[in-house]
Amino acid sequence: MKKLFALMILVAAMAFSTATAQLTMTASSNTNTNAVTQTHIATLSGEVNNYDNITIQVIGTKTSGTPAGTAILYASIDGTNYTAIGSDTLTIANQTTNSHFWTIDKTRYKYYKVAVATTGTQVSTWVAYLLGRKTPR
Mean pLDDT throughout 103-127?
92
Does any domain span residue 69?
A: yes
Pairing of β 31-33 and β 19-24: unpaired
* 107 confidence band (pLDDT: 50, 70, 90): confident
70 is a domain residue: yes
Any domain includes 8: no
Give me the pLDDT at residue 102, please. 95
Domain span at 85 = 19-134
Q: Which is more confident, 5 or 137?
A: 137
Q: Is the pLDDT of residue 11 over 50?
A: no
**pLDDT at site 17:** 42
Q: Give the count of domains, the chain.
A: 1
Q: Identify the CATH number of the domain in which residue 95 sits.
A: 2.60.120.660
Q: Quote the pLDDT of residue 43.
A: 85
pLDDT, position 135: 64
Q: What is the residue-averaged pLDDT of the chain?
A: 82
Q: Is the Cβ–Cβ distance between 40 and 127 less than 8 Å? A: yes
Tell the burial category of 136 from Cβ atoms under 10 Å away from its Cβ (0-12, 13-18, 19+).
exposed
pLDDT in tens, 37-79: 999 998 887 665 567 888 999 999 999 999 999 999 999 999 9
Mean pLDDT, residues 11-29: 55
What pLDDT, on a 0 to 100 scale, did the predictor assign at position 51? 78
Q: Please tell me the number of Cα atoms within 13 Å of 33 on its side-chain side.
A: 1
**4 within domain boundaries:** no
What are φ and ψ of residue 6, in 5° steps? Answer: -65, -40
- Flag whether 1 is in a domain: no
Q: Which residues contact 136 (CB under 8 A, 6 or more apart)?
A: 14, 15, 17, 18, 19
